[in-house]
Amino acid sequence: MIEIRGLKKRFGSNEVLKGIDLTIPEGKTTVILGLSGGGKSTIIKHIVGLLKPDEGEIWVDGEEVGHADADQIRAIRKKVGFLFQSGALFDSMNVFENVAFPLREHTAMKEDAIEARVVECLEMVALQPKEVLRLFPDELSGGMRKRVGLARTIALNPQIILYDEPTSGLDPITSDLISHMIVHLKKTLGVTSVLISHDIKESFKAGDYFAMLYDGRIIEFGDAEHFKATTNPYVRQFLDGKSEGPIQFQEG
């Protein structure tokens, strides 16, 4: 479904991605783990064409994104749902209007069909439509905002969902709920998912495959059993949560 070949990206003098090679299996959830600021979000921004590679290729469902024109990018983005870390809801719109927004922008659906689809999407993320439809983002908890953002993400029936730190800033119970929803949507919708995270516990609940990003490269890839048994010292240190080891941290 997604294949990344030799992806390199530099911002000024900072070479963030130094040659990423990664194949995302179709219909599965692949988790990209790594240190904060290590380039995880940079990878998924390339997948939807928000960033252009300095070198390399990104293939999504048979289309090369990195060198696609504006019309091709729009077509690719219709296949991809992106859940931003903050949820990225429009503060001036209520829940109904937020979830309906992509349907109004990208389809010719009539209003009654839009209303039915909004209700369906909210129910899929375990929200009660009658209770939340007219609420505004500032009236929602952090977990509810994430779920409304997820409802909007799935409104157009994407083939791929990209999750950028979906449990960031949430309490353990809500984080667990989000992880279970990721699994539920994968099974229900048959989507291919890419999950960016440094939350190891929740990642192993949601993921099928795992990739470790370190120093601009993928240094380990495999399923949960493979990953937990790895002897790679960098991965081992990350999984064990130890500050002493091969990864060198700078003070401050």
**Residue 77 identity:** R
Pairing of strands 160-164, 80-83: parallel
* Span 71-100, pLDDT tens digits: 888 888 888 988 876 667 899 999 999 999
* pLDDT number for residue 16: 95
**Residues with Cβ within 8 Å of residue 9, at least 6 apart in sequence:** 15, 16, 17, 39, 42, 46, 51, 53, 54
Pairing of strands 29-34, 192-197: parallel
Decide if pLDDT at 227 tops 50.
yes
* Span 6-58, pLDDT tens digits: 999 999 999 999 999 999 999 999 999 988 888 999 999 999 999 999 999 99
Region 124-138 average pLDDT: 93
**Which is higher by pLDDT, 26 or 142?**
26
Q: Is 155 helix (H, G, I), strand (E, B) or coil?
A: coil
**Residues with Cβ within 8 Å of residue 88, at least 6 apart in sequence:** 149
Task: Give the chain's count of helices (H) and strands (E).
Answer: 10, 10
Structural domains of the chain, with CATH: 24-52+60-240 (3.40.50.300)
**Residues with Cβ within 8 Å of residue 241, at least 6 apart in sequence:** 200
CB 68 within 8 A of CB 35: no
Structure tokens at 12: 């000024």
Give the closest residue to 222 by CA, choosing from 240, 209, 232: 209
Decide if pLDDT at 152 tops 60.
yes
* pLDDT number for residue 251: 41
**Which is higher by pLDDT, 174 or 148?**
148
* pLDDT number for residue 85: 67
User: H helices within the chain, ranges in order?
Assistant: 40-47, 70-77, 95-106, 111-124, 129-132, 142-154, 172-189, 200-206, 224-229, 233-240
d(CA 224, CA 9): 28
Q: Residue holding tokens 């949820």? A: 87
* Span 173-219, pLDDT tens digits: 888 988 998 999 999 999 999 999 878 888 999 999 999 999 999 99
**Residue 83 identity:** L
Number of Cβ within a 10 Å radius of residue 141: 11
Confidence at 252, pLDDT banded by 50, 70, 90: very low
Least confident interval from 63-72, 76-85, 145-154, 241-250: 241-250
d(CA 43, CA 244): 27
Number of Cβ within a 10 Å radius of residue 70: 8
What H or E segment, with its residue span, contains residue 164?
Answer: strand 160-164
Structure tokens at 44: 């998924």
